[in-house]
Amino acid sequence: MTNTKILILKGSPREKGNSAILAERVAEGARLMGAEVDSIYLHAMDIRACDACEACHENEDGLCIIQDDMQDLYSKIDQADVIVIASPVYWFTVSAQTKLCVDRWYAYSGKTPNILKQKIFSLILVYGDSDPYSSGGINAIRFFEDMCRYLGAPIAGILYGSADEAGDILKQEALLGKAFQLGKKLASV
């Protein structure tokens, strides 16, 4: 058994949307292996946009000064070994909820060491088109890969698939199985 701490950030405005369903399947696999999983529904949080004030790089503690729900989320990020980003593809990349959260990670870049470099990352994407290129899924994957490359952080897995209507992902047993296996893998990294 493991004591790996996994933080899943669900970026869909639908609490039980297709990307959230896959994220929960990942959580089930991880929990089965003994991992501690914290799953956060970003749409229910008050996360404001980074306003480029640079205070996070100028103040002593290196923290963002915007007082919103990111303040609670920072401590969860700090404690996680693995961070899973789960998002639908909206207008050719990750959802706005996902991007708001990730943009606020800029505060970490002023800290030494940048703890995000010590995390292991995974991505779950769902898009409406059948093709990751025409759907914009490839842009979301590229965003994620570029972020991890910049951080020097390893990627433990990228899982993506197509589902148009809410709940359609439940018809894809193979993809659900891959999500469960990814969770088991993440528990042992």
Number of domains in the chain: 1
pTM of the entire structure? 0.95
Q: Which residue has the tokens 């002023």?
A: 110
Residue 167 belongs to domain with CATH number:
3.40.50.360
Contact indicator for 15, 42 with CB cutoff of 8 Å:
no
Domain that holds residue 122: 5-187
pLDDT (0 to 100) of residue 61:
78
User: Comparing C-alpha atoms, which of 85, 79, 84, 81 is closest to residue 97?
Assistant: 85
pLDDT (0 to 100) of residue 1:
57
The average pLDDT across 153-166 equals 94
Rounded Cα distance between 127 and 134, Å, is 10
pLDDT tens-digit series, residues 74-88:
999 999 999 999 999
User: For residue 173, with 0-12 CB atoms within 10 Å meaning exposed, 13-18 middle and 19 or more buried, which class applies?
Assistant: exposed
Element (H, E) at 139: helix 137-151
Cis before 13? omega within 30: no
